[in-house]
């Protein structure tokens, strides 16, 4: 069964992973890039509410970063803030294709999907978008939610009309309180023309740099029940490992070598779950001239973060789960990685 997210997705990158296990320097599989921290909304549970409100990258910085990663990093994830709000958004997507990214994904709140320059760029260059509806169960948000689904419907019609390969996804946060209605929002997403929906745990305490999941009791069984009710082409995805209570152990934040997280302030952060937290800046890219990826101070920062001391561990964010899998491989006698199936993951280059 094809998945969009899994702790094992990092093993798809067999050559990079085996090189890392041999203590060789590697280039990341995915670049997660914020081009702006500005947003059209201020969602209470969005991690970007902890970011500065005025940071925006210039196109020259983006192109220089793309050039450094060309040929090695095949996944580009534009996040934010609201990336479609940035004037350079269409040019960033165009440059992404020009510099050889295979999977280009955009995380958006969907408010600007009906802008001509945004819709045209998405249909021409993006592999997928993920429309985040963080507040989908909040009272008073029904009208905004319906407007978002109408914009999805319009974009899907355009993509089909133009023969675009753009895949439109929706992501929704889960908790014990909304577990019983996950199928309801899935039906709405399917009716709007979205290709898939992705459920992931709601987290709190972003503001203090220690995100943790809220109670997820009963959520995973409801998602699995919902998956059984839908058939292709609409798909329901989740990250099951984030819901399962297992001990996490790693002696270095290994995912930092595979997922390069760069904020709109030009800083390289350890992981997506601690973006804009000054404590977890591992490189300043605003004036870099050498190979920042191999700077000893950066590598030492990655190595110094363990599961015993990491403040964001309780979020069970994807970088944390990748680090656990890599740690497991490091502790095995044989450090070979099983050859991945070509169709195992949707957008395999987006970690």
**The pTM is what?**
0.96
pLDDT at position 102? 98
CA dihedral sign, ordered 165, 4, 340, 224: negative
Q: Is residue 343 part of a domain?
A: no
Helix, strand, coil % in the chain, rounded to nearest 5: 40, 15, 40
Eight-state DSSP code of residue 126 = -
Residue 69: predicted pLDDT? 96
Number of domains in the chain: 1
Give domain status of residue 121, yes or no: yes
pLDDT higher than threshold 70 for residue 53: no
Band of residue 138 on the pLDDT scale cut at 50, 70, 90: low
Mean pLDDT of 309-335: 93
140 — pLDDT class (breaks 50, 70, 90): low
* pLDDT at 52 > cutoff 70: no
Predicted pLDDT of residue 196: 97
For residue 280, the enclosing domain spans: 7-330
pLDDT at 50: 62
pLDDT in tens, 251-303: 999 999 999 999 999 999 999 999 999 999 999 999 887 789 999 999 999 99
Question: Does a structural domain hold residue 336?
Answer: no
pLDDT-wise least confident of 60-69, 113-122, 225-234:
225-234
Give the span between the Cα atoms of 269 and 51, in whole angstroms. Answer: 12
- What's the average model confidence in pLDDT over 133-155? 84
Question: Phi/psi of residue 223, each to 5°?
Answer: -65, -45
- For residues 68-92, b (16+ Cβ closer than 10 Å) or e, as one string? bbeeebbbbbbbbbbbbbbebbbbb
Residue 45 within a domain: yes
The verdict on residue 118 lying in a domain is yes
- Does 117 fall in a domain? yes
Instruction: State the CATH number of the domain containing residue 61.
Output: 3.20.20.70
Query: Could you read off the pLDDT of 97-117 as tens digits, one per residue?
Result: 999 999 999 999 999 999 999
Q: Is 41 within a domain?
A: yes
CA angle (187 as vertex; 4, 341 as ends), nearest 5: 20
pLDDT for 51: 63
Candidate from 72-76, 140-144, 278-282, 283-287 with smallest mean pLDDT = 140-144
229, pLDDT greater than 70:
yes
Q: Is residue 221 part of a domain?
A: yes
């Amino acid at each position: 069964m094809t998945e969009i997210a899994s702790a094992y997705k990092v093993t798809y990158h067999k050559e990079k992973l085996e090189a890392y296990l041999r203590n060789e320097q590697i280039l990341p599989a995915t670049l997660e890039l914020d081009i702006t921290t500005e947003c059209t909304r201020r969602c209470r549970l969005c991690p970007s509410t902890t970011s500065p409100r005025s940071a925006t990258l210039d196109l020259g910085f983006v192109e220089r970063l793309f050039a450094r990663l060309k040929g090695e990093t095949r996944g580009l994830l534009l996040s934010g803030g609201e990336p479609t709000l940035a004037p350079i958004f269409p040019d960033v997507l165009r440059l992404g294709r020009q510099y050889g990214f295979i999977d280009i994904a955009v995380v958006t709140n969907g408010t600007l999907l009906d802008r001509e320059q945004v819709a045209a760029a998405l249909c021409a260059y993006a592999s997928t978008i993920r429309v985040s509806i963080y507040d989908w169960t909040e009272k008073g948000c029904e009208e905004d939610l319906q407007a978002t689904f109408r914009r999805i419907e319009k974009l899907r019609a355009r993509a089909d009309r133009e023969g675009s390969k753009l895949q439109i996804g929706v992501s929704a946060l889960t908790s014990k309180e909304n577990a019983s209605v996950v199928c309801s929002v899935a039906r709405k997403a399917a009716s709007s023309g979205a290709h898939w929906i992705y459920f992931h745990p709601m987290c709190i305490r972003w503001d203090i740099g220690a995100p943790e999941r809220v109670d997820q009791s009963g959520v995973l069984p409801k998602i699995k029940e919902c998956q059984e009710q839908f058939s292709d082409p609409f798909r329901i995805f989740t990250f099951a490992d984030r819901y399962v209570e297992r001990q996490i152990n790693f002696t270095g934040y290994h995912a930092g070598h595979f997922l390069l997280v760069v904020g709109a302030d030009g800083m390289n952060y350890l992981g997506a779950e601690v973006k804009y937290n000054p404590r977890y800046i591992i490189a300043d890219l605003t004036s870099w001239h050498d190979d920042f990826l191999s700077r000893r101070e950066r590598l030492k920062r990655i190595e110094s973060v363990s599961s015993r001391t990491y403040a964001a561990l309780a979020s069970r964010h994807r970088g944390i789960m990748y680090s656990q899998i890599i740690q497991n491989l490091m502790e095995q006698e044989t450090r070979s990685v099983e050859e991945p199936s070509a169709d195992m993951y949707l957008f395999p280059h987006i970690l």
